[in-house]
Amino acid sequence: MPTYEYECDACHHRFEKKQGFDAKPIAKCPRCGDRLRRVIHSAPVIFKGSGFYITDSRKKPPDMGKGSFESGDGGKEKGKKK
């Protein structure tokens, strides 16, 4: 059974009420009898498991050949003099 939060427009009294999904929202404030409104909160999102990080689903780059990036020569040919 979900818990709903209500707030009075006049006296700003806030309270929570457990109600079923098919129950009608409460209309009157229990303190002053004025109009109530249901307070809406954003739902939390929790990511669990694999596949949520950029490194989990990223494809590996194709092999660029030996000596291009790993050796630190910036992709220059081997044997060239500086």
Q: What's the CA gap between 64 and 75, in Å, rounded?
A: 9
> Is residue 19 over pLDDT 90?
yes
Res. 13 pLDDT band, cuts 50 70 90: very high
DSSP for 7-37, please give it: EETTT--EEEEE--TTSPPP-B-TTT--BEE
As a whole number of Å, the CA-based R_g of the chain is 31
| Amino acid, single-letter form, for residue 53 | Y
In a domain, 46, yes or no: no
Q: What is the pLDDT of residues 32-65, one digit of tens each?
A: 999 999 999 888 888 777 666 666 666 666 666 5
**Considering the entire predicted model, what is its pTM?**
0.50
Percent of the chain topping pLDDT 70: 59
In a domain, 80, yes or no: no
In a domain, 30, yes or no: yes
In a domain, 8, yes or no: yes
State the average pLDDT for the chain: 78
Count structural domains, the chain.
1
Find the domain containing 23 and state its range. 3-39
In a domain, 47, yes or no: no
In a domain, 50, yes or no: no
Q: What's the CA gap between 62 and 75, in Å, rounded?
A: 15
